[in-house]
Homo-oligomer: A and B are copies of this chain.
Amino acid sequence: MSTITWQSVQAEALRRIRSREWPPGGQIPHEADLAEELGCARATVNRALRDLAEAGLLERRRKAGTRVPLNPVRKATLDIPIIRQDIEARGLAYGYKLLSRNEAPAPPEILSQLSLKKSSQMIHILALHLADNHPFCLENRWVNPVAVPEITKTDLSTISANEWLVQNAAFSAGDFAFGALAAPAHIAKALDCATGAALFTVERTTWAGSLPITSVRLCYAPGYRMLAAI
């Protein structure tokens, strides 16, 4: 016997959205009605439609029901691997070089990114990730030693801060900003590219609850592309 799966309900819903059987801006039947029509339990319909709502293809509100948005804001997901895995997944040999590490008061922009007020000593790390011995990514990181005191005793010349933090500071939240930067001379030198070259950059701040852990800017060598999918 074949039971209805939530995937099949979802596929049918998608079909109706695409065929405009459920027109943009319009309301769709209640869960209970759909469940009866399709011959399954309401929970199954709920699972299917909840997923579509999370993807931005439906808007659900209690009492108001479910409707097809006029301008759906689709959600894409992107994987955030540690840099070593990113490089190895491309079939390249990973290399790593710690350029500098010291303790210093964080500059104002870092403090504001971390929502810290008083300027306290933080750990500043500059490191280079290599792929097949070519510069791949320059890591410029500030770490809050209050959040991860163990890092003060860690030898970051053999393991990157990127990797150490992933393994030792499970975080709860983070935000990202992607952009482009014309390489200033010192970055161009580190990445072995021309001054002014267009670099893809990622700025990331991570938190454990309300405690800021780290803020980092990654500058990728020219040509890097970051992939995502819907």
Would A182 and B170 count as touching, CB distance under 8 A? no
**Interface residue from B79, B166, B178, B196 paired with A226 (Cβ < 8 Å):** B178
Stretch in A80-88, A93-101, A128-136 touching the partner: A80-88
CB atoms of B17 and A170 under 8 A apart: yes
Q: How many copies of the polypeptide does the oligomer hold?
A: 2
A136-172 contacts to B, CB under 8 A, are: 163, 166-167, 170-172
Q: Which B-chain residue is minimally distant from A228 (CB atoms)?
A: B176
> Are B76 and A77 closer than 8 Å at their CB atoms?
yes
Contact between chains at A14 and B172 (CB < 8 Å): yes
Given contacts A71-B167, A75-B80, A166-B71, contact A198 B177 (CB under 8 A): no
Complex Cα distance, B55 from A79, in Å, reads 9
* Distance in angstroms between the alpha carbons of A110 and B124 in the assembled complex: 43
Please indicate the chain B residues that have their CB under 8 angstroms from the CB of A80 in the complex: 73-76, 230
B-side contacts of A74, CB under 8 Å? 79-80, 174
Is A4's CB within 8 Å of the partner chain B? no
Select one of B70, B78, B201, B224 contacting A77, CB under 8 A: B78
Q: Is A57 an interface residue (CB 8 A)?
A: yes
Task: Answer whether residue A199 sits at the interface, using C-beta atoms and an 8 A cutoff.
Answer: yes
A78 touches B81 (CB 8 A): no
Nearest CB on B from A148, distance (A): 11
A173 and B229 form a contact (CB under 8 A) = yes
Contact residues in B for A229 (Cβ distance below 8 Å): 173-176
- Does the CB pair A228–B78 fall under 8 Å? yes
Q: How far is the CA of A180 from the CA of B79 in the complex (A)?
A: 19
Instruction: Give residues in A with beta carbon < 8 Å to B.
Output: 14, 17-18, 24, 56-57, 70-82, 85, 163, 166-167, 170-182, 196-201, 208, 220, 222-230
Between A and B, 8 residue pairs with Cβ closer than 8 Å are A72-B166, A177-B225, A177-B227, A177-B228, A178-B226, A179-B223, A179-B226, A200-B200
- Chain A to chain B: the 8 pairs with minimum beta-carbon distance, closest first: A180-B180, A198-B198, A180-B198, A182-B198, A180-B200, A176-B228, A174-B230, A179-B225
